[in-house]
């Protein structure tokens, strides 16, 4: 089963908790056991599983990536000013795979799924959510 999740982002760089949207796709699928793949379409976005307790970890991720990959110093910036966005996306990666256990995401208590926006704001971000069942 496959479904597209659409997002609107409000800032240039932000981590957006998409766990509820992924859980909704899982519920609609009716699949109980298998794998859930979440894939970010676009060369300046990524998917990350991270702590959900508060937003300090997400802020730390954004700040770390800004220090590691600063804005405005890359060859690609000559084309459209988002060289850092491409590098951050490539470093984090476009997808995550999560086990589906008894109809629920196999995340721990403190884990959620985050969409990483590195070149926003955007009006139409798309994530491909694919569920493969072994029931």
Provide the strand spans (E) within the chain. 2-9, 14-17, 34-40, 45-51, 95-101, 104-105, 111-117, 122-133
pLDDT tens-digit series, residues 39-66: 999 999 999 999 988 889 999 999 999 9
Please tell me the CATH superfamily of domain 2-133, with its number: YjbQ-like (2.60.120.460)
Angle formed at CA 100 by CA 94 and CA 103, multiple of 5 degrees: 135
Residues 16-28 as b or e (16 or more Cβ within 10 Å = b) = bebbebbbebbee
Show the tokens assigned to 112: 């959620």
pLDDT tens-digit series, residues 96-110: 999 999 999 999 999
Can you tell me whether residue 103 is helix, strand or coil? Answer: coil
Compute φ and ψ for 45, nearest 5 degrees. -140, 165
- The full set of domain ranges for the chain reads 2-133
pLDDT for res 134: 86
Q: What is the pTM of this model?
A: 0.95
pLDDT for res 16: 97
């Amino acid at each position: 089963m496959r479904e597209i999740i659409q997002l609107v982002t409000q800032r240039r760089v932000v981590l957006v908790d998409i766990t509820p949207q992924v859980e909704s796709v899982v519920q609609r699928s009716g699949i109980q056991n298998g794998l859930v793949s979440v894939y970010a379409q676009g060369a300046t976005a990524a998917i990350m599983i991270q702590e959900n307790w508060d937003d300090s970890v997400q802020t730390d991720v954004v700040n770390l990536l800004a220090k590691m990959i600063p804005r405005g110093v890359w060859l690609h910036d000559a084309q459209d000013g988002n060289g850092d966005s491409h590098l951050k996306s490539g470093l984090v990666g476009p997808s995550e795979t999560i086990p589906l256990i008894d109809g629920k995401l196999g995340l721990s208590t403190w884990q959620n799924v985050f969409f990483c926006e590195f070149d926003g704001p955007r009006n139409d971000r798309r994530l491909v959510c694919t569920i493969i069942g072994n029931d």
